[in-house]
Structure 1
Amino acid sequence: MNDVIEELLNKAGLQHAPWTWVSERVVKIETRDGPYALKRWERTPQEREHFLHHLRYAERAGMKGIIPLTNTRGDMSMFETGRHYFYLEPWMEKQPLRSPPSEELRLLTILALNHKISEDEEGMTEEDLSTYKNEVQRGWQQEILLMNRLAAQFEQSRFISPFELTFLNGCPFYEMMFAEMKKGFQKWSRQVKEKEGYRFAFCHGRPSLEHGFIAADGNAWFTNWETSGPGHPAYDLAYFYQDLAQRYPFVPLEGKQLFGTYEAHGPAWGEADTGLLKALTLTPAPILMFAQAYATDPMRYAEHQWTAMLESKLSSLRYLQQMMLWKEKQEAAMHGS
Structure 2
Amino acid sequence: MSMKGKSSISRCRHRMNDVLSNIGYKNADWSWISERVIRVQDQDGPVALKQWQRSAEEREHFLHHLRYAERAGMQGIIPLKPVRGDTPMFESARHVYYFEPWIEEPTVTSSREKELKLLAVLAGNHKISEDEEEMQEEEWFAYKQEVQHTWHQEQLMMNRLADQCEQSRFLSPFELTFLQGYPFFENMFKDMRQGFQTWARQVQEKGVRRFAFCHGFPTLDHGLISADGNAYFTNWETSGPGHLAFDLACFYRDLSRRQPFHALDSKRLYETYEAYGPSWSEADTGLLKALMLTPRPILDFADTYAREPYRYAEHQWTAMLAAKVSHLRYLRQMIQWKEKQEAAMKGS
Q: TM-score, normalised by structure 2?
A: 0.93
Residues 250, 315 of structure 1: 8 Å contact kept: no
**2:197 is aligned with what amino acid?**
Q
Partner of 2:222: 211
Whether the 8 Å CA contact 1:129–1:189 is kept in 2: the answer is no
Look up the match of 1:259.
270
**CA deviation string 1:132-184 (max 9, x = no partner):** 01101111111100000000000000110010000001000000000000010
| Conserved 8 A contact 1:94-1:215 | yes
- Partner of 1:158, secondary structure, is coil
User: In structure 2, the residue corresponding to 1:200 is in which secondary structure?
Assistant: strand
Deviation at 1:68, TM superposition (A): 0.9
Alignment gaps of 5+ in structure 1:
none
Deviates more, 1:238-247 or 1:71-80: 71-80
1:110 Cα deviation (Å)? 0.5
What SS does the aligned partner of 1:143 have? Answer: helix
Partner residue, 2:316: 305
The reply on whether 1:170 has 2:181 as its aligned counterpart is: yes
**Cα-to-partner distance string for 1:68-120 (whole Å, 9 max, x where unaligned):** 11013321100102321011111222224567961110110000001001111
Distance 1:30 1:57, change over 3 A: same
The Cα shift of 1:61 comes to 0.6
1:98 and 1:171 map into 2 onto residues whose CA distance is 38
Q: 1:117 aligns with which of 119, 125, 128?
A: 128
Of the candidates 130, 136, 161, which is equivalent to residue 147 of structure 2?
A: 136
1:286 counterpart = 2:311: no
In 1, are the aligned partners of 2:47 and 2:99 still within 8 Å (CA)? yes
**Aligned positions of 1:182-221 closer than 5 A:** 182-221=193-232
2:220 aligns to what SS in structure 1? coil
1:318 equivalent in structure 2? 329
SS state at 2:224 partner: strand
Q: Does the aligned pair in 2 maintain the 1:11–1:79 contact within 8 Å? A: no
Shift of the alpha carbon at 1:35?
0.5
1:43 is aligned to 2:80: no
- Displacement of 1:333 in angstroms is 1.1
Query: Is the aligned partner of 1:83 residue 2:94?
Result: yes
> Is this contact kept in 2: 1:8–1:79, CA < 8 A?
no
Scaled by the length of structure 1, the TM-score of the pair is 0.96
The separation in 2 between residues aligned to 1:165 and 1:131, in whole angstroms, is 38
Q: Distance in 1 between matches of 2:46 and 2:122?
A: 26
CA contact (8 A) 1:64 1:114 kept: yes
For the structure 1 residues 155 and 98, does the alpha-carbon distance in structure 2 shift closer, same or farther, using more than 3 Å as the test?
closer
Q: Report the more deviating stretch, 60-69 or 72-81.
A: 72-81
The CA distance in 2 between the partners of 1:233 and 1:8, in whole Å, is 38
Work out the CA distance in 1 between the residues paired with 2:181 and 2:104. Answer: 40
Deviation readout 1:287-306 (Å, 9 max, x if unpaired): 00010011011111111111
Q: Distance in 2 between matches of 1:334 and 1:261?
A: 18
Query: CA 1:255/1:161 → structure 2, altered by over 3 Å: closer, same or farther?
Result: same
* Residues 1:26 and 2:37 aligned together: yes
In the other structure, the counterpart of 2:162 is 151
Distance in 1 of aligned mates of 2:104 and 2:306: 39
In the TM superposition, what are the counterparts of 1:225-240 in structure 2 within 5 Å?
225-240=236-251
In the alignment, is the contact (CA less than 8 A) between 2:19 and 2:93 conserved in 1?
Answer: no
- Measured against aligned partners, the alpha-carbon deviations of 1:261-303 in whole angstroms (never above 9, x if no partner) come to 0000001100000000000000000100010011011111111
Structure 2: give runs of 5+ residues left out of the alignment.
1-11
The CA distance in 2 between the partners of 1:81 and 1:318, in whole Å, is 45
Instruction: For residue 104 of structure 2, give the secondary structure of its aligned residue in structure 1.
Output: coil
> Which secondary structure does the structure 1 equivalent of 2:45 belong to?
coil
- What is the DSSP-based 3-state SS (H/G/I as helix, E as strand, rest coil) of the residue aligned with 2:42? coil
Partner residue in 2 for 1:296: 307
1:24: how far off?
Answer: 1.6
Q: Pairwise CA RMSD of aligned residues?
A: 1.5
> What displacement does 1:16 show?
2.5
1:327 aligned partner: 338
CA distance in 2: counterparts of 1:15 and 1:82, whole angstroms: 16
CA contact (8 A) 1:95 1:213 kept: no
Structure 1: which amino acid aligns with 2:251? Answer: F
2:104–2:226 Cα contact (<8 Å) kept:
yes
Deviation at 1:59, TM superposition (A): 0.7
